[in-house]
Structures are given as structure tokens and as C-alpha cells.
Amino acid sequence: MKCHRRSDKEQQTIQLWTLEKAGALLPYLTSIIDSMREARLEGQAHATRVAKLEARHGRPKRDEILQIADEKTKVEEAGKRFQKAQEELQQLDVYCIHPVQGLAFIPFMNEGQLAWFIFDRFAPDPLRFWRYHLDRVDIKHPIHFIQRVAPADEGPRLA
């Protein structure tokens, strides 16, 4: 079986975080996740209104046509706000897993393996758990079980 290597163009380098730096990131991360959540929920609400208005029987009246157009514009605006917040996270190499639930992954190395701090916006302690990249989705390790995290001075990056 051959191992296919990705070309340099396909490789992506990501910033790896330490627990201390991830902890310092929490206020900013909370703000971005809140923006993403708000934009997603607002977009869903406007999309639901569009669907209800379009599902009405009969030919729509002028007011309804304008209302549908307005709601569609609001859906697009919410989508743009969501995308902007997502781009901010991507610049930090933090990945939003579920914006409505407020879940995001922050990459780090543990025992030479890629791992993720699990940020939970609504937990009393937002960084209580972590998981290895190859763990099953339902696996969560308590944060105090981290063995060796790369020192912050090195500024590690994973390619």
C-alpha cells in the first residue's frame, strides 16, 4: 500500500497553542464565538420567515413580496457576519465545531500527537477537556491529563 504525499500547495501549517496561551485567548474567543452564534441564529430565524412567507397559498401581495425580499437580504447579511467571524477564527487556527452550541477546537501537541483543546462557550470552565485528533468524536479527556505540551517560547507550528 502506498502512502500518498500531499504537494506543498496542499499542505497547511497551523499554529499550535499552549494551555496558557489558549487561556489568555478565552475572552477574545468568547467574543468571536458569540458573534458567530448570533449571526447563525439570526440567519436561521430570517430563513424560517422566508420559508413561511413563501409557503403561503395564493399569489403574494406587494407587501409580502417586499417582506420576503427584506428577509432574504437579512439572511445574506447574517451569513456575511458569520463568515467574517469565521475568518477571524481561521486566522488564529481555531476551528468552530458548532456555533450554536458554542464549541470550538484549539490545536496543540501532546506527546508528539496533534490534539485539540475543546472550547465550550457555555461551560463554567470553557477549557475543561481536550482530545487527540484521531480520537473518536465522543472522547473527552480532562484538561489535567495533558502530559507534555510544547513550550510557548518555541512558537510551534504543525505542517
Q: Over the stretch 70-105, which tens digit does the pLDDT of each residue have? A: 999 999 999 999 999 999 999 999 999 999 999 999
Q: What are phi and psi of 121, to 5 degrees?
A: -55, -35
Average pLDDT, the chain: 88
Contacting residues for 60 by C-beta, under 8 A, at least 6 apart: 53, 68
Residue 5 has pLDDT above 70, yes or no: no
- Average pLDDT, stretch 13-38? 95
Residue 44 has pLDDT above 90, yes or no: yes
| Angstrom distance (rounded) from CA 106 to CA 114 | 10
Residue 153 has pLDDT above 50, yes or no: no
Residue 126 has pLDDT above 50, yes or no: yes
Of the candidates 139, 134, 130, the residue with the CA atom closest to the CA atom of residue 113? 134
For the chain, the DSSP string reads -PPPPPPTTT---EE---HHHHHHHHHHHHHHHHHHHHHHHHHHHHHHHHHHHHHSSSPPPHHHHHHHHHHHHHHHHHHHHHHHHHHHHHHTT-EEEETTTTEEEEEEEETTEEEEEEEETTSSSTT-EEEETTS-TT--EEGGG------GGG--EE-
- Average pLDDT, stretch 29-56? 96
| Angstrom distance (rounded) from CA 122 to CA 142 | 17
User: How much is the pLDDT for 145?
Assistant: 80
User: How much is the pLDDT for 60?
Assistant: 87
User: How much is the pLDDT for 158?
Assistant: 52
Residue 108 has pLDDT above 70, yes or no: yes
- Average pLDDT, stretch 129-138? 92
- Contact predicate 50/72, CB 8 Å: yes
- Dihedral sign, CA of 48, 49, 50, 52? positive
